[in-house]
Amino acid sequence: MRKRNLTIGGVAVAVVIAAATFVGLAVGGDGENDQPITGPAYQQAVDAALAHTGEGKVTETEVGDEESLYEVEVTLPNGNQVDVQLDESFAVVGAEADEEGPNDTDSDGQ
């Protein structure tokens, strides 16, 4: 009986570890499971990002970005995009302009 309980306990632990690993991969941000900012946090993140850029339109948001808690993508009037990184208190911890502008072409000239 004791051996059976240990076996069941071991299997239960393995299931919990497997489930935690799956959830970690799903939330971890492999680029396919990006979650947009929602609720009251959305407006706070938008306000902080636009205050940082000074102008523009929010075109995308993400919770749990690999670089910060929140990421807000802002498209500026000239078409360039800036990714603004925010921490849990909506303070800017980084910002990066996208490499390609709206008039850039591929390396083969297209």
CB-CB contact of 50 with 59 (8 Å): no
- 21 and 72 part of one domain: no
- 53 and 77 part of one domain: yes
User: Which structural domain range is residue 68 located in?
Assistant: 35-100
Written as tens digits, the pLDDT of the chain (110 aa) is: 666 655 665 555 444 454 444 444 444 444 556 899 999 999 999 999 999 999 999 999 999 988 899 999 999 999 999 999 999 999 999 999 986 555 544 444 44
Q: Cite the DSSP H helix spans in 2-81.
A: 2-27, 40-53
Element (H, E) at 34: none
84 forms beta bridges with: 72, 95
Tokens found for residue 64:
């749990």
- 19 and 61 part of one domain: no
Residue 85 domain-assigned?
yes
Give the CATH number of the domain where residue 54 resides.
3.30.505.20
- 41 and 92 part of one domain: yes
The C-alpha atoms of residue 84 and residue 5 are separated, in whole angstroms, by 52
Q: Is the pTM of this model over 0.75?
A: no
